[in-house]
Amino acid sequence: MSKKKEVFKPIRKGKVSMYVCGPTVYGLIHIGNARTFLTFDVLYRYLKYKGFAVKYVQNITDVGHLTDVGEDKIMVGAKKKNMNVFDFVNLMIEEYLKDLKSLNIEKPTFLPRASEHIQDIIDVVKKLIENGYAYESNGFVYYDISKFKNYGKLSGQNPEELQKKVEEEHGSRKNKGDFALWIPSPEDYPMKWESPWSIGFPGWHIECSTMSSKYLGIPFDIHGGGKDLIFPHHEDEIAQAEGATGKKFVNYWLHSEFIKINKKKMSKSLGNIISARDAVKKYGWRTIRYFLISSHYRKEVNFTEGEIENSQKAVDKLMDFVDRLKEIIPDSDYNSDFDKRIRILKKEFEDYMDDDLNVPQALSTTFKIVNETNKAIDEKTVSKKNLGEVLKLIKELDKVLGLKLDEKKQSEISDEAKKLIEERENLRKQKEFERADQIRNELEEKYGIILEDSPNGPRIKLKDKV
Ligand SMILES: [Zn+2]
């Protein structure tokens, strides 16, 4: 709201209430959506890391909304799949949850569905009419933006322009910028509910103010979403929630930037939309997760093969490092200076995260830990205890990054591949190197498993594919 960094002061000591606009469930989410959800996943994780009890709410828009061209994406999606619209939204919610899980995005505390809060929404609309902020017109209910004195404050829109009286095309509205709270349903439309004004469905904006207020109370601490939602969606959420209650809605607004594909906007017309699912399939979830969190959330991300490759290398390096920490048995005394240094780097990581969630810098600090520890291992200046502390720290930081760096790689390997690894070990012992090499190649090509032989047996590296 203030367009500058502010010191975060939670409303209730030790607690954070956070709301993020979730998906409209008409299809699979794309990597731009995934970036938004990952941004707030990292924030959610970091707030918990800092010891806050976080209540995190994300809505699910499972109620149809007519677009400017008069079509409803949910209806279109259901028709395409030849499904009943209610079954369709249920299926799409399941798919959404699968995508969250595939990227190791933690489930919010509550995921309320709009369709299950219609009565709550009607109550808020009634309140807005009562308070003089909304009016009925031919079965529609509109919000009268000229009545809300702070309208346009978040997005910097000119209220006078929005309040211009308009003629025919917006016939039933008083002002050009008035937006619908309730919409009468077309005849053939299956998703509709009784209301005092018409049989219809709620506008999109009202569902977010209603459900955030219901689950978090207002004001609440943090409201997030993609940058594209600032206007009109978030502007309208403020007008509705504050108009209905007379209280401040939200203390801090955070918006994540867009993603571009080879410097081009992702769009239907360019045919360059990449679904989160395809990206995960092609590049592996860790790589995609790393790639999408490694830029600052207020900076545009540019998706290129080169950038993805860099992310893959970074992830590999981190995973190899964790492996190495578990393997190496150093022969040196405990090094208290090294320990001190590691604690300084931990503080540095936190300082960057505290500074408006500076993940790129926090990651570079993580790599300082990796590089300095690797060097110390090579120079034999650290003890087992030192490395135990490093491993503990990396696991802690990984709770924020969400890369599952310590995951037993074994669990990702199929039984078939495990048998081959065993067979190869036996062949090696019998000095049948040619056949052993053949299996090693097969493992890499077919299963994405790279074997590196070490004195303690083969080290297994996975090409980050799932
Ligand atoms: Zn919303």
**pLDDT tens digits for the chain (466 residues)?**
999 999 999 999 999 999 999 999 999 999 999 999 999 999 999 999 999 999 999 999 999 877 666 778 899 999 999 999 999 999 999 999 999 999 999 999 999 999 999 999 999 999 999 999 999 999 999 999 999 999 999 999 887 777 775 544 445 788 888 999 999 998 888 899 999 999 999 999 999 999 999 999 999 999 999 999 999 999 999 999 999 999 999 999 999 999 999 999 998 889 999 999 999 999 999 999 999 999 999 999 999 999 999 999 999 999 999 988 987 776 789 999 999 999 999 999 999 999 999 999 999 999 999 999 999 999 999 999 999 999 999 999 999 999 999 876 555 678 888 889 889 988 988 999 999 999 999 988 888 888 877 655 677 777 654 3
Distance from residue 230's CA to the centre of ligand 1 (Å): 10
Distance from residue 91's CA to the centre of ligand 1 (Å): 21
Distance from residue 144's CA to the centre of ligand 1 (Å): 19
Distance from residue 252's CA to the centre of ligand 1 (Å): 15
Distance from residue 73's CA to the centre of ligand 1 (Å): 17
Of all helices (H) and strands (E), which one includes residue 105? Answer: none
Distance from residue 197's CA to the centre of ligand 1 (Å): 23
167 by Cβ neighbours in 10 Å (0-12 / 13-18 / 19+) ranks as exposed
Distance from residue 433's CA to the centre of ligand 1 (Å): 61
Distance from residue 386's CA to the centre of ligand 1 (Å): 47
Distance from residue 462's CA to the centre of ligand 1 (Å): 39
Q: What is the pLDDT at residue 291?
A: 98
Distance from residue 20's CA to the centre of ligand 1 (Å): 7
CA separation, residue 424 to residues 122, 442, 448 (Å): 67, 11, 16
Distance from residue 5's CA to the centre of ligand 1 (Å): 22
First to last CA, the chain: 40
**Contact, 149 vs 119, CB < 8 A?**
no
**Contact, 205 vs 233, CB < 8 A?**
yes
Distance from residue 238's CA to the centre of ligand 1 (Å): 11
Distance from residue 101's CA to the centre of ligand 1 (Å): 22
> CA 447: distance to chain centroid?
29
Q: What is the pLDDT at residue 412?
A: 65
Distance from residue 224's CA to the centre of ligand 1 (Å): 9
DSSP string, 13-50: TTEEEEEE---BSSS--BHHHHHHHHHHHHHHHHHHHT
Distance from residue 80's CA to the centre of ligand 1 (Å): 26
Distance from residue 205's CA to the centre of ligand 1 (Å): 6
Q: What is the pLDDT at residue 444?
A: 87
| Calpha distance 145→175 (Å, rounded) | 7
| Calpha distance 35→293 (Å, rounded) | 7
Distance from residue 190's CA to the centre of ligand 1 (Å): 23
Distance from residue 237's CA to the centre of ligand 1 (Å): 7
The token duo for 208 is: 């977010």
Distance from residue 70's CA to the centre of ligand 1 (Å): 21
Q: What is the pLDDT at residue 171?
A: 56
Strands 220-226 and 250-256: parallel
Q: What is the pLDDT at residue 59?
A: 98
Per-residue exposure over 268-307, b if at least 16 CB sit within 10 Å of its own CB, e if not = eeeeeebbbbebbeebbbbbbbbbbbbbbbeeebebeeee
| Calpha distance 399→2 (Å, rounded) | 31
Distance from residue 58's CA to the centre of ligand 1 (Å): 8
| Listed residue (377, 443, 405) closest to 317, CA to CA | 405
Distance from residue 27's CA to the centre of ligand 1 (Å): 18
Distance from residue 211's CA to the centre of ligand 1 (Å): 9
Distance from residue 185's CA to the centre of ligand 1 (Å): 21
Distance from residue 95's CA to the centre of ligand 1 (Å): 20
Alpha-carbon torsion 39, 36, 91, 184, what sign? Answer: positive
Distance from residue 234's CA to the centre of ligand 1 (Å): 7
Distance from residue 302's CA to the centre of ligand 1 (Å): 25
Distance from residue 208's CA to the centre of ligand 1 (Å): 5
If phi > 0 it is left, if psi is from -120 to 50 it is alpha, else beta; for residue 365 that is alpha
Distance from residue 204's CA to the centre of ligand 1 (Å): 8
Distance from residue 363's CA to the centre of ligand 1 (Å): 30
- Give this prediction's pTM: 0.89
Distance from residue 235's CA to the centre of ligand 1 (Å): 10
Distance from residue 37's CA to the centre of ligand 1 (Å): 13
Q: What is the pLDDT at residue 429?
A: 87
Distance from residue 68's CA to the centre of ligand 1 (Å): 18
DSSP conformation class of 230: I
Distance from residue 209's CA to the centre of ligand 1 (Å): 7
